[in-house]
Amino acid sequence: MTTKVHHTLLLTGAAGGVGTALRERLKANCTVLRLSDRVDFGPALDGEEMALADLSDASAVSNAVQGCQAIVHLGGVSTEGAFDPILQGNIVGVYNLYEAARIHGVKRVVFASSNHVTGFYRQCETITPAHPPRPDSLYGVSKAFGEDLSRMYFDRYGIETACVRIGSAFAEPRDRRMLASWLSFDDLHRLITACLTTPVLGHSIIFGMSDNAVSWYDNASVRHVGYVPQDSSDGFREAIYARTPEPDASDPTVQYQGGTFLMAGIPMTAHRK
Ligand code: NAI
Ligand code: 15L
């Protein structure tokens, strides 16, 4: 089966950690990979185009989107922090992206949402895409906004979106929590490929995890996307247990799925400490 179902694929956030890891892999999904970020990260290579844009700049985003058939949207603020950059990058930015997609006739988007949309569920709970959002941070709220906005663009304009609630996409899991949340770069590429090629995507919310033995997520309702993870954090368990201390069960970063994002940013009230 060919995975090149789109001629020009736009990748936002291309200069970031995940964008850098996906850059080469995504060339299998298109004839031209158009790379966008707000920072200049060097020249386009073979099979690539550059389209630098700050997501808060509607006109620059429109130029980046024009002429592409699908978008993998990774750009924006990726951690908890001050509200204004989150507002500009993740809320105004995702609006600018969907408006450009509507105007230029783009029909499919893979949106990098986050496990922090549901970070206030406990680590002893298993959740599905149907569970209501419980964001753990302003960052998580901004991703929930992107999910709702994409739902509206599907219902009003038929733009299909996969909201991929990425867990922890790094080369390796870094701590005990990531034994549950880890998503390998190869599995993320498999998941994006499934989202770009499945005949009917609709508006789907899917948890982005590898095949980890410990999991807080149930993707059974989104089997139609066709994502089958092939990697697992399990082989890293022994080394992570050996180098990290026994967790304190009363620590909110251990109780809740969002981990350290629970304590980042604006202070929590006493009842959650
Ligand atoms: P990153 O922070 O390394 O990359 C984000 C990129 O977006 C950066 O290159 C940055 O320059 C760009 N960016 C930020 N604000 C921008 C703006 N206003 N206009 C244009 N570009 C802007 O993040 P990473 O780890 O590569 O994550 C990629 C995406 O996946 C992010 O949307 C993040 O929220 C999401 N995600 C990542 C996870 C992970 O484990 N790496 C987990 C869950 C979600
Ligand atoms: C995220 O949403 C962040 O973008 C990433 O930096 C990680 O912290 C990840 O979640 C996580 O929860 O491990």
* Domain range list for the chain: 6-263
CB distance 13 to ligand 1 below 6 Å: yes
Residue 76 φ then ψ, to 5°: 130, 180
DSSP-based three-state secondary structure for 45: coil
Average confidence (pLDDT) over 140-154: 98
CB 64 within 8 A of CB 36: yes
CB 190 within 8 A of CB 110: no
Q: Is 175's pLDDT higher than 60?
A: yes
Q: Is 265's pLDDT higher than 90?
A: no
Q: Is 271's pLDDT higher than 70?
A: no
Q: What is the CATH number of domain 6-263?
A: 3.40.50.720
Ligand 1 atom closest to the CA of 18, numbered from 1: 26
Q: Please give the pLDDT value at position 3.
A: 84
Q: Please give the pLDDT value at position 102.
A: 98
Average confidence (pLDDT) over 86-109: 98
CB 173 within 8 A of CB 160: no
Residue among 94, 100, 137 at smallest CA distance from 258: 137
Nearest CA, atom 7, ligand 2: 168
CB distance 129 to ligand 1 below 6 Å: no
Looking at every residue in the chain, the average pLDDT score rounds to 95
Nearest CA, atom 11, ligand 2: 168
Identify the residues whose C-beta falls under 6 Å from ligand 2. 78-79, 114-116, 168, 181, 259
Average confidence (pLDDT) over 107-120: 98
Q: In a 10 Å sphere around its CB, with 0-12 CB exposed, 13-18 middle and 19+ buried, how is residue 106 labelled?
A: buried
pLDDT in tens, 6-54: 999 999 999 999 999 999 999 999 999 999 999 999 999 999 999 999 9
**Which ligand number lies closest to the CA of residue 20?**
1
Q: In a 10 Å sphere around its CB, with 0-12 CB exposed, 13-18 middle and 19+ buried, how is residue 102 labelled?
A: middle
Question: Lowest-pLDDT range, 94-98, 129-133, 189-193, 267-271?
Answer: 267-271
Number of neighbours of residue 132 by Cβ within 10 angstroms = 9
End-to-end CA distance of the chain: 51
**What are the strands of the beta sheet with 30-36, ordered from one edge?**
48-50, 30-36, 6-12, 70-73, 108-114, 160-166, 203-208
Q: Is 251's pLDDT higher than 60?
A: yes
pLDDT band at 1 (very low <50, low <70, confident <90, very high): low
pLDDT band at 86 (very low <50, low <70, confident <90, very high): very high
CB distance 90 to ligand 1 below 6 Å: no
